[in-house]
Amino acid sequence: MLRRYALPASLIAAALVLPFVDRALGTDFLFTAIVVAVFVLLALGLNIVVGFAGLLDLGFVAFYALGAYVCGWLASTHFRQVSFSLGSTARSLTGEPLPGIHISFWLILIIAAAFTALCGVIIGAPTLRLRGDYLAIVTLGFGEIIPRFFLNGDNLFGFNLTNGTIGIKAIDAPGIPFVPFESWQRFSQLDLSPWYYTILALVLLTVFVNVRLQNSRLGRAWISVREDETAAAAMGINPVTTKLWAYALGAVFGGIAGAFYGAFIKNIFPTSFSFSISILILCMVILGGMGNIYGVILGAIVLQAINRYLLPQLNDLVHALGDALGSEALSQADIPKYNFLLFGLLLVLVMLLRPEGLIPNRQRAEELHDEDPSTGDAMGGPARA
């Protein structure tokens, strides 16, 4: 029991003291840590769909965008024609009622989760009867349609829903009015600790839900459908309903991540939710190990560390080398724009050397390392035809 919980407890303790270490060392690491945590949340949500249920989803960014826009609609002055406030800490300087809709951030998280889950059910119900490549193409289309809808949603029969390319700005900051600490009463960018602890709590909640789902009856049904949908149906499992649960629950965490991101960044634009985000999140799941919760977290941290630290540092190094050698090409090189090329090469290497991911799911690792297929599969079953 002690060995089982020692590592998670150590990681949580390290995460809790990170703001104090960051403040003591003056590294200004919290902003990056918050962004990384948002992507950890997204990767854990996609892991339910891809890792647990085996559904190739190429449009997960759509739920991320939906959650962010829900936050923008319900916590800003975008809808100036109405004035409604519920539990929000946003106040006008003159004391007059603020125009627009201003709902508490904590309620918005719940609303965003419910809204994205509903969208997941609406989109998934007619499409999850498809399998393999066909399902991937449908989700790819969904991921492309939603950002374009937000891009062109500034004139829907005369109604401005999304503000088009300008996006929604000045989103309200969260806050907990009754706590004694001023920085927690209304979150600001001057002290990022409240933001950090909020996203850390959301990540821990997501990990807890993932663990409970993985060991539940529904989790075993997902594995059955993932391994052999026909056999699962023969055993009395409804594949469509089972896959729909995975799609909706994954959407929930995508929506929560989007709502938090919208409140944290304060300005959301359609271009922030491009198709490349879906691919990046999928790479995190594959790199870490599909179906393994800790592996997915590691994959998200590794790719974001490469994206946000390694490539900028490498860019500075190449510029310094170019200045020293008098090479204009090296001095003006833009290494970070080749990040997806690097991710692609990294995935190829992982697939060749460790196809089950950095921290593999036990079942997938046994399947991919069946040393004697003629005598049966690695799970102890009979040889497959």
Q: What is the DSSP string of 5-24?
A: HHHHHHHHHHHHHHHHHHHH
Tokens of 219: 């989790």
Chain mean position to CA 378: 32
**156 pairs with which residues across the strands?**
159
pLDDT of res. 385? 36
pLDDT of residue 57: 87
Q: Which residue is it, tokens 């949603």?
A: 153
Token representation of residue 151 = 């891009």
Query: From first to last of its 385 residues, what are the pLDDT tens digits of the chain?
Result: 666 778 888 889 999 999 999 889 888 889 989 999 999 999 999 999 999 988 888 889 999 999 999 999 999 999 988 888 888 887 777 777 788 899 999 999 999 999 999 999 988 888 777 777 788 888 888 888 988 999 998 888 888 999 889 999 899 989 888 888 888 888 988 889 999 999 999 999 999 999 999 889 999 999 888 888 888 888 888 888 999 999 999 999 999 999 999 999 999 999 889 888 998 999 999 998 888 899 999 999 999 888 888 888 888 898 888 888 888 888 888 888 888 888 888 888 888 888 888 888 777 666 666 555 555 444 444 444 3
| HSE of 248, CA atoms in CB hemisphere, 13 A | 14
First to last CA, the chain: 41
For residues 106 and 114, give the distance between their C-alpha atoms in angstroms, rounded to a whole number. 13
pLDDT of 265-310, one tens digit each? 999 999 889 888 998 999 999 998 888 899 999 999 999 888 888 8
Q: What burial class does residue 308 get, using C-beta atoms within 10 Å of its C-beta: 0-12 exposed, 13-18 middle, 19+ buried?
A: middle
Asked whether the beta carbons of 52 and 219 are under 8 A apart, the reply is yes
Rounded to the nearest 10 degrees, the angle between the axes of helix 30-47 and helix 239-265 is: 170
* C-alpha span between 272 and 166 (Å, rounded): 12
C-alpha count within 13 angstroms, C-beta hemisphere, residue 334: 2
Range list of β-strands (E), 88-174:
100-103
Query: Phi, psi at residue 354, to the nearest 5°?
Result: -145, 70
Instruction: Check the CA dihedral 177-31-252-82 and report its sign.
Output: positive
**pLDDT value, residue 25:** 87
Q: Retrieve residue 231's tokens.
A: 């056999």
Structural contact between residues 288 and 358, judged by C-beta atoms closer than 8 angstroms: yes
Q: Are 252 and 117 in contact (CB under 8 A)?
A: yes
Strand-pair category, 83-86 with 100-103: parallel
Using alpha carbons, select from 290, 189, 277 the residue that is nearest to residue 246.
290
Q: What angle do CA 86, 91, 95 make, to 5 degrees?
A: 115
pLDDT, tens only, 81-108: 888 888 888 777 777 778 889 999 999 9
- HSE, CB side, 13 Å, CA atoms: give it for residue 359: 14
The predicted structure's pLDDT at residue 141: 87
pLDDT at 332: 85
DSSP state of 31: H
Question: How many residues are there in the chain?
Answer: 385
Task: Give the pair of three-digit tokens for residue 250.
Answer: 């994954």
pLDDT the model gives residue 210: 93
Distance CA(347)–CA(148), nearest Å, equals 29
The 100-103 sheet, strands edge to edge = 75-76, 100-103, 83-86
* Phi, psi of 235, deg, nearest 5: -85, 5
Give the residue from 23, 24, 17, 21 showing the smallest Cα distance to 190. Answer: 23
pTM of the predicted structure, to 2 decimals: 0.89
pLDDT at 97: 76
Domain segments of the chain as ranges: 31-292
Beta strand ranges found along the chain (DSSP E): 75-76, 83-86, 100-103
Instruction: Indicate the Cα dihedral angle 136, 139, 143, 149, nearest 10°.
Output: 140
